Structure 1
Amino acid sequence: MSIASPDNARPTIRDVARIAGVSIKTVSRVINDQQYVSADKRERIREVMREIGFQPSHAARALAGHRSHQIALICDNPNPWYVYEIQLGVRERCARDKIRMIAQPYDRASPTLLEDIVALLDQANPDGLVLAPPACDDARVLAELNRRDIPFVRLQPGVRIDDGPAVLIDNERAAFDMTSHLLDLGHRRIGFIVGDRSYAASGQRLAGYIGALGEQAVEIDLDLIRQGQFDVASGEAAADALLSLPNPPTAIFASSDDMAAGVLAAAHRRGVRVPDALSVAGFDDGPTATIVWPSLTTVRQPVRALADAATDMLLSLSESGKPRQRRLKHEVIPRASSASPAG
């Protein structure tokens, strides 16, 4: 039996969306043979069109096919350099296709966070989104985007990585490699400063540190692990605690360059010579790494290239609806802040 539209009126795109159980935007994509619709959903929508006798006019096709030619970037990070590099990577890739980028700050502490993002979607009507940490792991945001059938790519996700398109580095492996570098220099008491707990990368880097110690049969001393917040002040406070131990570490690996700069500040204030008495390592390889003295041994993550790749993936998502994933390479950069332990 055919499915009729209400009151035998001429069926509309809203009728198709309601009966098929999808959004109007998804029906629009099918009408205009656009991307981002899975094969089974596409067939269901076309079947409903046939059942109710929906025939889009040329005007309806033009309206349904409307695109804003802009994408939104949702990001938040205490490091201004990191945010700038992400914005630059997204903007440069958008410019190649004459797409506009809208940057929306993500305040994870805001009680209206989800409402703010919904308002952006309703008012700007972006064709898709790039989600940087920690928005890329926010279940509420992901659920709303999936409900609306809005394409998105996650930049550096830390949970359920295979759930959708994503671009990332292997944070755990990167921290493993840096810890191994310090171990290869001869250090056995290596302090570690964990980043902000709301970022999944913090736990991944901690896991890499622990994994490297375990591989070389070095005992894990919980006193050598301290909590930070990805900023200079928390790095300095954590270093003060580590250097106050009866048996302090000979090396400290902070999981961001800003926290590593705090370690250097604490060491200089205490008269602890770097790298003679203490090796220091960070993570990012932003401007901080070469501004501080001595220059910082660190993990280089290609932030701008990650953002470019995420945007490129968003602009070229296939119709299959299958998740895609791309991993970029990290690199350990040895500099003057690390050396073999004295004695």
Structure 2
Amino acid sequence: MNNFIFQTTATIINEPGVTSRLGEIAASLGMHRVLLVSDPGIAKIGLLELAESGLRTGGMEVSVFAEVLADPPVDNIMAALNQAREFNADGVIGFGGGSSMDVAKLIAFLSNSEQGLAEIYGVGIARGKRLPLILVTTTAGTGSEVTPIAIVTTGENEKKGVVSPLLLPDIAILDAELTVGLPPRVTAMTGIDAMVHAIEAYTTRVKKNPISDTLARQGLKLLFENIRAAIANGHDLEARSKMLVGALLAGQAFANAPVGAVHALAYPIGGQYHVAHGLSNSLVLPHVMRFNLPVASREYAELARELFSDLGTTSDLAAGARLIGALEQLMVDVQLETRLNQVGIGKEALPVLAEAAMLQTRLLVNNPRDVGYEDALQIYRDAW
């Protein structure tokens, strides 16, 4: 067995309705003046009021930054940082999806650091301490509440990552009541995003370990078995809660056993065509898996056997193919686009996407099979 280090969020609270006690939880970390970080969509549907009320009931002074943009650019992050400093925040709470949580992570660190944002891109470069940090996820997808990663849009189409254990929060909160209003399409995209985290963590060739493997298998099972129910009835708290836990387990897995070519090929789609991250992942997932199948058949078969009880003595290749087919059918069932041409990408753009994917070396090195330019181009063609 290879040596490994496993890091994750220290405390996880899974309790429907727990947002009403957010102030009490913040106080347990010594917070008094809280910057609450979220996005306009969360504010519009009224969820942010629940968080703010829970904080004020617990005696917190609160400054709300609800302007987080999807794939947050540098200016957006700096605006939140300036607000935190002007308010003299002594704690940060991220409330929302992956972008809101990523911004909250960065603000908690940068508010207490002499390093600037441009100085901490990369792995393990951030140094020092951060402010107390709580992350409350409102989607079952990104797993950001248990990952040491924040993604920043640094140019028109370029993204950079900050990766550091300092970005792991003190407390992650799963409140299924916050997710009951998610539209079916958002539930579908974020749920499949979480499945990709589990699948890629399980098949990574870098830092794969028995803890991440166990979490990935269980996370994928919870997600696959509950996504249809969560979409069919958004008020099904049991399905919603299982989706949140599944996404968290997948997040813990990929935070320690990093993702590969699915994400590498999805990033240019999202960056250049502003396709939601979960959908970008789902568009290339089956095609990357087919590319990987010759070298990852054992791992795919193990995941398939976690989901399907009728595989018996089926060969690894056939079991892996069964998994890929089931995921393709799932995308049809949840009514997501399945082809690149359905999201406005012309065939002439595929070489440009392939070139951009080759820049994602941080991710490509994790893939179980080497991916070159021609490989990426063919995957895009298959997905088109």
TM-score for the superposition, normalised by structure 2? 0.31
TM-score for the superposition, normalised by structure 1? 0.34
Query: With CA pairs under 8 Å and 6+ residues apart, which has the higher RCO, 1 or 2?
Result: 1
Which structure's residues are more often helix, by fraction?
2
